[in-house]
Chain A
């Protein structure tokens, strides 16, 4: 079997964080009772007209700049015509041949290597409504709350730079990091505010041709994107091996089966009859406007990660992890500065805190432990007020109660025992209770059993003894 190489184009849609929808004053938020955030404009009532949301345009300009794109000074809007019940006007206002941003790139790191992924275009369009079905009913219903929500499309360049599921995932993660950092999208894949539709084909490694591709839809997590592409590569390879043809089609992703399935064949190229939107005037993007938008850009993830390595001495892995979203990076930076031990903060975030958040399906922004409290906890460890072992329990308690660490430590009596006499008494008792172990160590040289004694002391001290002190006292007593 020849070695196949995946060829992946990424088409991503990001719902933009704006107060109002793209062409009307309706509020732009997720969910809500169906058809409660609609007006004549986003319902496409006869006679209604769109009015451009300037913030949405600036979000796309911001993204285009962050992705190193060139900005078209005369970007314009076009109508994409097709019939569907969730599309109230029978056309979607989009950008066809002169999008706001073109010819950009972002860098990804996979297996320690940096790779540049080129971006073809960044454009602005409006989202559609949503069809839904009620149990026991034959009819479909339409909810237009999402209709007219500003949507940004980001498409990678052709020929594609991405040749593995890992690279696809890394691209998407980096894209999300940038979008959330510059504040244009909340990046919530599970709510559909960031959606990704990879186009996947395969070819024999080393060849340059492009084979029939399939498009995967309904991927609503990074894992699903990676798994979906992996599955498609396997499926297509198997087809070619059997001498069968790959059909150009749109395939859905089943989370339950971890498989893609055929949704709709794309035999004929859909005819959208694009033409310039006569209800809107073309944009006139001046240099001054571009510079004003550029000035609002925060530190971008790559730059921030580099600074985290240099300023806080973090390993590359930590720096990349912590700059995954702006909220996470801000959280880390606040805690690191207050605690004075950046690496410890990084470890706690990547370890226990990440585990707790994952278990509760929470983002860092929803963390019951504030950056300030995490810093205070790390400080308690650094100052020797509590042991690292106690801290493991403390962080769980902080997560559950949301209380400050010092308050919990006080209440629970978790402070390290500073009184050497008290620790000595525990050591003496453990020696007295375990004479055979002491003998084994002292007379038979079974030094591996020393750990047992340490454990017993720590246990008796309920983890509050300073481990260094415990070791010192045990060694002293063994040498008596």
Chain B
């Protein structure tokens, strides 16, 4: 039966339901696992053992009394540290928020508490979710559990690593250009970016508001669906969250792809995708055909402009979203006080890292009078074209299949060129530009490192992604492989 930390959430829920194990035992096991491996994996920025055990005891007591419990009652869960948690430090991976303790919960955090989840800690990320490796974290770099000399991906690298290293069965991340799917791919776990508007962004420290979306990490498809169930739905506090009924996604995990029409956009296998990755992904595609899906090549011609347009729009929004960090109200304040302009400039200079500064500069430039039409407006037009590309493809196909990341996990410090780093998101960011759902599932290994298959769905049709992912998962055992951490 393996150890407690090997169980998926739904397995642990069943066992708790049968009285075989308590939430305290699960939580204790998770805390012990963190204590033994996290000095190497470095997934967590903050661990809250006391709060977690207290929450576990509350759930255990409730179960014992036979009272109804929530969807995730007693399951240890980690949160990316850009999700606001009442009373628990929330840094967004930045020195500028090194001491910020929010007075409120993000909507997803409130929902998780209501679902009975045991919030165990906050995970590392690239500063303000800007990056693909956690190397931009203002604190430290997390490591890939499959090879500790390599990155876990990013920006939600801490959450991906924590799930892969069996520290927690579930975690939340956020995805602006691939920040859930790419680290899921690099760490060999499942990561889903829901449709824009499916999950409330209230309490997610914004990077690029029109692209950000919160989503789950898990080790199997059912767990992913379970966590999405817990966090989805319209939120009156987020005007961009959509008021649509939320289906039971676990019910959508039907391992049957017969009759589904799947498209493979050729542009996603272009330059940059390594032969090993392409081979693993094509292997998965062949498998899905064998399972009864119809697969055809298709084209999304505007894809090649996606990266350029993204790196106008996301920095433009970030230059504005990050303006609030001025040393006046919370977070870091420079000790060199010299009037309000000096205060703002010095605080921001001390508090932000190089990548964040660069994106703020790019965004500020792109929005400036005289450049707006050439950059921001043009990029919005490209965005529309990308969305139309997808819409056209979805007239024919139920879902699209691509690699998640063109490369497996790279060495820490290997990608020193910022542009090269940005190419890590070339397959994922068009999905954010179009606001569509995308999931990365493990589909093999390249030289011992996990490779991910990305499934892209129609807006608000996460159900089809779960169906395909379930079928593939049932037929393969990639998701059961476990990194051999030296403990």
Contacts and interface: CB of A to CB of B under 8 A. Distances in A.
A90 B367 CA distance: 15
Most chain B CB within 10 A, of A44, A50, A269, is at A44
A273 B368 contact: yes
Nearest to B328: A85
A21 interface: no
A46 B239 contact: no
Given A83-B323, A275-B320, A45 B330 contact: yes
B275 interface: no
A43 B100 CA distance: 14
B455 interface: no
Given A279-B239, A281-B239, A47 B320 contact: no
Contact of B344 (A43, A83, A89, A275): A83
A91 B323 contact: yes
Given A46-B100, A278-B209, A273 B326 contact: no
Interface of chain B, main secondary structure: loop
A298 interface: no
B210 interface: yes
Most chain B CB within 10 A, of A46, A49, A279, is at A46
A79 B202 contact: no
Interface in B199-231: 201-206, 208-210
Contacts of B372: 273, 275
Most chain A CB within 10 A, of B208, B317, B323, B364, is at B323
A273 B90 CA distance: 29
Contacts of B322: 90
Contacts of B340: 83-85, 140
A84 B372 CA distance: 23
Please classify how large the interface on chain A is, using the bins under 10, 10 to 19, 20 to 34, 35 or more.
20 to 34
B329 interface: yes
Nearest to B200: A49
Contacts of B323: 81, 83, 89-91
A33 to B, nearest CB: 18
B189 interface: no
A110 interface: no
Interface in A5-31: none
Interface string A117-161: 000000000000000000000001010000000000000000000
Contacts of A81: 319-320, 323, 367
B374 interface: no
Contacts of A279: 206, 209, 239-240
Contacts of B82: 47
Contacts of A89: 323-324
Contacts of B209: 278-279
Given A49-B237, A52-B239, A88-B329, A271 B320 contact: no
B205 A90 contact: no
B324 A90 contact: yes
B206 A47 contact: yes
Contacts of B324: 44, 46, 88-90
B107 to A, nearest CB: 9
Interface in A319-335: none
Nearest to B104: A40
A47 B317 CA distance: 14
Contacts of B472: none
A316 interface: no
A258 interface: no
A297 interface: no
B87 to A, nearest CB: 14
A51 B240 CA distance: 9
B97 interface: yes
B328 A142 contact: yes
Interface in A50-93: 50-52, 79, 81, 83-85, 88-91
A46 B376 CA distance: 24
A247 interface: no
Contacts of A83: 323, 326, 340-341, 344
A90 B326 contact: yes
Contacts of B238: 49, 51
A48 interface: yes
Interface in B33-52: none
B369 interface: yes
A280 interface: yes
A85 B97 CA distance: 18
A364 B320 CA distance: 45
Given A40-B103, A44-B324, A46-B100, A51 B239 contact: yes
A226 B165 CA distance: 73
Contact of B376 (A45, A88, A142, A275): A275
A278 B210 contact: yes
Most chain A CB within 10 A, of B92, B236, B237, B324, is at B324
A43 B320 contact: no
Nearest to B343: A85
B84 A46 contact: yes
B118 interface: no
B320 A51 contact: no
Contacts of B328: 85, 88, 142
Interface in A235-290: 269, 271, 273-275, 278-281
B369 to A, nearest CB: 6
A57 to B, nearest CB: 13
A48 B84 CA distance: 9
Contacts of B100: 46
Contacts of A142: 328-329
B483 interface: no
B205 A47 contact: yes
A331 B238 CA distance: 44
Given A47-B84, A49-B237, A275 B102 contact: no
A90 B369 CA distance: 18
A403 B201 CA distance: 59
A142 B100 CA distance: 19
Contacts of A49: 201-202, 237-240
A47 B102 contact: yes
A46 B326 contact: no
B244 to A, nearest CB: 14
Given A91-B320, A278-B210, A273 B364 contact: yes
Contacts of A90: 320, 322-326
A85 B326 contact: yes
A79 B319 CA distance: 11
A20 to B, nearest CB: 13
Contacts of B84: 45-47
Nearest to B97: A46
A459 to B, nearest CB: 69
A81 B205 CA distance: 18
A47 B204 contact: yes
B300 interface: no
Contact of A281 (B92, B240, B344): B240
Nearest to B340: A85
B316 interface: yes
B317 A278 contact: yes
A140 B319 CA distance: 26
Contacts of B204: 47
Interface of A: 40, 43-52, 79, 81, 83-85, 88-91, 140, 142, 269, 271, 273-275, 278-281
15 contacts: A47-B82, A47-B102, A47-B206, A48-B202, A49-B201, A49-B237, A49-B238, A49-B239, A51-B237, A83-B344, A90-B326, A91-B320, A91-B323, A142-B329, A273-B320
Interface of B: 82-84, 90, 92, 97, 100, 102-104, 106, 201-206, 208-210, 236-240, 316-317, 319-320, 322-326, 328-330, 340-341, 344, 364, 367-369, 372, 376
Given A46-B92, A278-B210, 16 more contacts: A46-B102, A48-B104, A49-B201, A51-B239, A83-B326, A83-B340, A83-B341, A85-B326, A90-B323, A142-B329, A269-B369, A271-B368, A275-B320, A275-B367, A278-B208, A279-B206
A-B interface, 10 closest residue pairs, ranked by CB to CB distance from nearest: A90-B323, A273-B367, A278-B209, A278-B210, A46-B205, A47-B203, A47-B84, A85-B328, A47-B205, A44-B324
